[in-house]
Structure 1
Amino acid sequence: MAERTVQVTPGVGAGGEAYEIIKVPNTLAAKAGGFRADRVDGREVAALIEKLAQGYPDLVRAEVAQLAPLWAKARSAEGDKRCEQELFRITHDLAGQSTTFGYPLVSAIAGSLRMLIEGGAARRERAYPAVAAHIAALTEVIRLGIKGDGGSAGKQILLSLHAAVVECLPR
């Protein structure tokens, strides 16, 4: 197990000024478990990503299907914080993973929705239409199986979502 304590060594410089040398443990090496990038075959990684990409639409469909019910609970009078956290988790994952699997439009929409959630949209009624528009857009993009950036339709979707976000900003 890697050493987890920070070591602080005080000293005095040539001009009489005090300083400290702080040695922070390298916990990343322990977490990597002997992994070394120079031992990875890029072709194997590409094949694995391709295999994962084949099942990605089903995974995304299941995740996106959870958004509307979670949003309804998060914005309710009781304001279920766990639902808000789950919304953030799903949108964070979609924003981070989707481009890797060929869905940058999903990534862009999810990233924008994540920022709304993170910004407290569940407690700002003015943001409700923007969140609903994002969820509807994700649902449609997945239903239609739109890969890539969606071309001109994708650009139009992102422009309309941007307008919805601007509309919910305080004036």
Structure 2
Amino acid sequence: MTDRKNKNRGTSNGEKPADVRFVRVPSIAERKLGTDYVAPMRLDPRVLEQMQTTIKGLEARYGDTLRDQVRTLLTLVEPACGGDTEARGRLYAIVHDMRGLAGTFGHPMVGRFANSLCSYVESAGMDAWRDDTVFRFHIDAIREALDSPGADPAITLETLNALQKLIAASAAERRRMG
């Protein structure tokens, strides 16, 4: 056993201490995400609670923002599908924001419907804008999800499945038309 004076020089009986080597084991996140991964710092639970309170407060206001955005989307569909590139850009930007923010602020199905529409535009490219049907059905689904937040999840998932079938039918039609 070492005493306080000798703890860094050796053992109390004069033996040389064993070599000590520290081995750093990478975390699971580092193994999956690479060595550039930086672990998030731990937050004080009081700060986390304050953040959650802030998000809850923003949630109510975000619902109103979403309703305004749905009205804007409905006015943008016709010009966007008619060739107006500015309307296309605005429509896509709004839907893209919905895709990213809706789930955070308590509207996960709005986010899923918006994701479906964004994915359609991203995969179909310019062909997406030939017909407004897919856009209108997605916007109607978003509006319905906002108006009926307590809707049966099975029904909303069935709506999402129906939208995916509509997208598939639209893609098949585009292929057929050449």
Aligned to 1:66: 72
Query: Structure 1 residues 54, 124: closer, same or farther in 2, change over 3 A?
Result: closer
Pair 1:91-2:105 in alignment: no
**Structure 2 alignment gaps of length 5 or more:** 1-39
Q: TM-score, normalised by structure 1?
A: 0.68
What are the within-5 Å matches in structure 2 for residues 16-165 of structure 1? 37-38=41-42, 41-76=47-82, 79-118=83-122, 119-120=124-125, 124-125=129-130, 127-142=131-146, 144-146=147-149, 150-165=152-167
State the match for 1:24 in structure 2: none
Alpha-carbon separation, structure 2, partners of 1:146 and 1:91:
19
- Comparing 154-163 with 39-48, greater Cα deviation is found at 39-48
Report the identity percentage: 25
Give me the TM-score of the superposition, normalised by structure 2. Answer: 0.65
The offset of 1:107, in angstroms, is 0.3
Moved over 4 A (4+): 36-40, 121-124
The CA RMSD measured in Å over matched residues stands at 2.2
Relative to structure 2, which stretch is displaced further, 108-117 or 65-74?
Answer: 108-117
> Shift in Å at residue 139 of structure 1?
2.0
